Amino acid sequence: MTHTSDFTPTPDDRFTFGLWTVGNVGRDPFGEPTRSAIDAPTIVRKLAELGAYGVNLHDNDLVPINASAAERDQIVSAFKAALTETGLKVPMATTNLFGDPAFKDGAFTSADARVRAYALQKTMQSMDLGHELGAATYVLWGGREGSEVDASGKLLDALGWFRDSLNFLAEYSESQGYGYRFALEPKPNEPRADIFLPTVGSALGFIATLDKPDLFGVNPEFAHETMAGLNFVHAVAQAIDAGKLFHIDLNDQKMGRFDQDLRFGAENIKGAFLLVKLLEDNHYSGPKHFDAHALRTEDEAGVWTFARGCMQTYLILKEKARQFNADAEIQAALQAYRVEDAELSQLSEFSPENAAALKAQTFDRAALGARGPGLERIDQLTIELLLGVR
């Protein structure tokens, strides 16, 4: 029997956590914190001890929004010392444009021009900090970029303001020599009733309208697409197909619930397996970021059990993906599922002649409809693999 000790993470696995994830104190809309805050240097040292590759942060996860310049420098200095001591990296940075009351009706999409300008200022300062810490990817989650009252009439204007802000930040990054790749993080709702760019597909469509679309990709999150009843693996496949998977947030979620940010693999084992297989088969080499947190029931020991569990589950499912690819019966079923035809493939490459030949082709429609492709068997074999009986 294989044991969890055989799935010990190392920095080569490129697992990362946010300061806000393992640093979550257990507060929710109905209850106060259930555990004490952990300072950033301690988080860095503990993650390194567990085998993580890096730690990510919003600006105010590290530096309080009301900190003085001297306090900011002292906090950042202590954090950088812990990074140097442990070798932990900061692959990604982002900014909090959702917590402060100033952003209650949006940041880049606020109807108040002063708020939009402040959001740009705050983001530039956060980008400065991220670059100082070595971040190469900058994530933008528009948690307050949305609405409850569409009668306000700002929808098209808001998309324009959003576009202008992203174009501005891309120019700022280039002018400073930061070289950031920006990753938009879609989410359908919460904390706003409706958030702009709610899905991976909508974010990809919006990116095409930007001045420098090559600098922008997506940071899809398992829980966000699942909340809306969508298939996260499909969303990630679309991002890979578009060459836009710049970063990814791994967690878990029950469909239709509030944003739970559960431990990776805690609920949707088959979905998590198919996601890991998709990432590994397509050689995704970016950070694998766990944007999740321990249950509110847990103490600090439970936080580190949660973090270790996220990484171990990914590695277990990675091994399952290897077994799937090496399983002769599964591979034979997959091969039988696909029917190739060299002549028809050639005719499907357009030319006037091929179009005419394809129109003249005779197909046995009844036979095509009668064929059983064997998907039940493929799915059952997958379940048997996951349940450990293959």
**In sequence order, which residues have a C-beta less than 8 Å from that of residue 140 and are 6 or more positions away?**
94, 166, 182, 183, 184, 185
| Active site annotation includes 327 | no
Q: Which residue has the tokens 């914190």?
A: 33
Q: How far is CA 88 from the centre of its chain?
A: 20
Q: What's the sign of the alpha-carbon dihedral 102, 104, 105, 106?
A: positive
State how far the Cα of 253 lies from the Cα of 68, in Å rounded to an integer. Answer: 38
| Active site annotation includes 283 | no
Beta strands 146-147 and 194-195 are: antiparallel
State how far the Cα of 33 lies from the Cα of 329, in Å rounded to an integer. Answer: 51
State how far the Cα of 345 lies from the Cα of 371, in Å rounded to an integer. Answer: 20
Q: Which of 58, 224, 289, 293 is catalytic?
A: 58
H/E run at residue 267: none
Residue type, 269: I
Contact of 377 with 333, CB cutoff 8 Å = yes
Q: Which of 12, 13, 39, 61 is catalytic?
A: 61
Pick the closest to residue 277 from 211, 331, 340, 322 (CA basis).
Answer: 322
> So which residues are the catalytic ones?
58, 61
